[in-house]
Amino acid sequence: MLRLVGKRLVPQTQVQTLGTPTLRLRRRYHERVVDHYNNPRNVGSFDKEDPTVGTGLVGAPACGDVMKLQIKVDQHSGKIVDACFKTFGCGSAIASSSVATEWVKGKHMEEVLSIKNTEIAKHLSLPPVKLHCSMLAEDAIKAAVKDYESKKAKNGSSDASSPKVAEA
Amino acid sequence: MWNRRKNLLLSSLSLLRHISSSPHLPRLHPLKPSHLLCPSNSFLPPIDSQLRNNLLDLPRCGFPRNLSSSNSCSSCWNCGAVGPTSGAFLACGSCGAVQPVDASVDYFQIFGMKKMYEIEEGDLEGIYKDWQKKLHPDLVHSKSEKEKGFAAEQSARVIDAYRTLKNPLSRALYLLKLEQIHVDEEKTVSDPDLLMEMLEMREAVEEAKDTQSLKEIQSKVKKKLDSWSNSFKEAFNKQDFDSAVNCTQRMKYYERALEEITKKL
């Protein structure tokens, strides 16, 4: 390659000298993020066509991330009984969606709509530059709920029409 | 003999300063002072060799300082030589001194290219290396602290410019930035067709078992990237900036997929 390529300072690594010992400060992922990245909870896929499943598909074009979050809803109680996700993106995005699937389980749909990205970000100690990952997770939850609701409405209306068809 | 040459040059400089304030710059013969005074870039300008030798024979700081402070040209802090009217004045063509960074000079000007999406990518590396031969901090270690500082900043800027212009997506985003088109980075998209396509693409990359299948996916994605790159070019030239931004978003997704494929290969 080029012999004359200049060396640029890598912003993530700062070297501070305190007297004799040299202290290296590196920006790291918070241990919770690392945990969710290495041991992601609820990775997987539900059947999109299943009427009890709501699918939220969101993307962050700035970084090319894609996040799919699915919820399985108990139709009688309106509670989310299961959730899974599939995310292509950075560690923070993966961790945010993993946390989101954990938090929605066992809650009602109205409840999960109030989950804020700031709570996810705080839980994972996300730096400002990664806040949009938590926003993506919040949007994914909302999209999943919206998808379920619209499916329910569609199925509801088709259920209403089918008895008429049967009668005819 | 020496003084006559100097006087000739000084008079042509003052003449040109007078002329440059008017909208049209007439061509003056036989000295070709437009090249002499303000070359299009600060490489040694394409004037005939005898004239160039005369120029180089001039002593440093041979120009009186008041001559060089014209409206359109910046002047060298070291020898007072006047820099180009347009384009990048990164290093003085006369004495070689590295100049301070001028942030108003954009990356295209640094490479002497027109501000558009289609560029001669092959030329980039050559021009980049030529600049680094003049600007690299390692080459100014014997010079003043001030000049070393300028060299570090200029060199870094040229590196940024080279990287930005070399990659089609970053070039596209840079062009949008120059047009003051602000792309909201935080915005989430929920276009189901786009996202489904990207999700399936990334899944295919993840599940690909061998080099052969990865390479097949790679060539498909490259084709899509090229096609959207062309769409960007058309949209940008038509000044349809919404479509242009949309194209860059797709290009970003394809680039990410290509990065993942490269990692796996």
Catalytic-labelled residue, pool A63, A81, A113, A153: A63
Residue B98 DSSP label = B
B253·A62 Cβ contact <8 A: no
Task: Name the residue with higher pLDDT: B108 or A167.
Answer: B108
For residue A24, the tally of other CB atoms under 10 A from its CB is 8
Q: Residue B14's pLDDT is what?
A: 57
Q: Residue B119's pLDDT is what?
A: 87
- Alpha-carbon gap: B200 to the closest alpha carbon of chain A (Å): 10
- Report whether pLDDT(A160) > 80: no
Q: Which of B186, B199, B256 sits opposite A135 (nearest CB)?
A: B186
Q: Which residue blocks in B62-191 are alpha helix, DSSP H?
A: 65-68, 107-110, 121-135, 145-166, 168-178
- Report whether pLDDT(A2) > 60: no
B129·A6 Cβ contact <8 A: no
DSSP string computed for A15-75: EEE-SSSEEEEE----HHHHHHHHS-SSB----TT-TTEEEEEEEETTTTEEEEEEEEEET
Q: Which of A4, A5, A66 sits opposite B198 (nearest CB)?
A: A66
Q: Residue B2's pLDDT is what?
A: 59
Q: Look up tokens 């950075």; give the residue.
A: A90
Q: What phi, psi does A47 have (nearest 5°)?
A: -70, 120
Strand duo A22-26 + A53-60: pairing: unpaired
Share of chain A above pLDDT 90, in %: 56
- Rounded to the nearest 5 percent, the helix, strand and coil shares of chain A are 45, 25, 30
Q: What average pLDDT does the structure give for chain A? A: 82
pLDDT tens-digit profile of A37-82?
888 889 999 999 999 999 999 999 888 899 999 999 998 999 999 9
- For the whole model, what pTM was predicted? 0.69
Q: Which residues of B touch A58 (CB under 8 A)?
A: 188-190, 195
A2·B186 Cβ contact <8 A: no
Q: How many CB pairs under 8 A join A and B?
A: 77
Q: Is the dihedral of CA A145, A151, A154, A157 positive or negative?
A: negative
ipTM of model over 0.95: no
B187·A61 Cβ contact <8 A: yes
Active-site residue flag, A90 = no
Q: Residue B69's pLDDT is what?
A: 37
User: Kindly report the CA angle at B53 between B16 and B27, in degrees rounded to 5?
Assistant: 30
Q: Residue B16's pLDDT is what?
A: 54
For residue B111, the tally of other CB atoms under 10 A from its CB is 23
3-state secondary structure of B31: coil
Q: Which of A58, A59, A132 sits opposite B186 (nearest CB)?
A: A132
Structure tokens at A71: 């919820």
Q: Residue A61's pLDDT is what?
A: 87
Q: What phi, psi does A27 have (nearest 5°)?
A: -75, 120
Nearest CA in chain B to A90: B256
Q: Which of A2, A4, A135 sits opposite B188 (nearest CB)?
A: A135
The radius of gyration of chain A from alpha carbons, rounded to an integer in Å, stands at: 22
For residue A142, the tally of other CB atoms under 10 A from its CB is 18
**Contact residues, chain B to chain A, C-beta under 8 Å:** 125, 128-129, 132-133, 136-138, 155-156, 159, 183, 185-192, 194-196, 198-199, 202-203, 249, 252-253, 255-257, 260
Integer Cα distance of A54 and A46 in angstroms: 9
Ramachandran region, residue B244 (left: φ > 0; alpha: ψ -120 to 50; beta: rest): alpha
CA B234 to centroid of chain Cα atoms = 22
Active-site residue flag, A63 = yes
C-alpha distance from residue B39 to each of B92, B125, B222 (Å): 11, 21, 40
All residue ranges of chain B with pLDDT < 50 are 19-20, 22-72
Query: Which range among A20-24, A56-60, A126-130, B7-11 shows the weakest confidence by mean pLDDT?
Result: A20-24
- Alpha-carbon gap: B187 to the closest alpha carbon of chain A (Å): 7
C-alpha distance from residue A19 to each of A14, A15, B182 (Å): 16, 13, 46
- Report whether pLDDT(A25) > 80: no
A108 residue type, one letter = H
Q: Residue B33's pLDDT is what?
A: 42
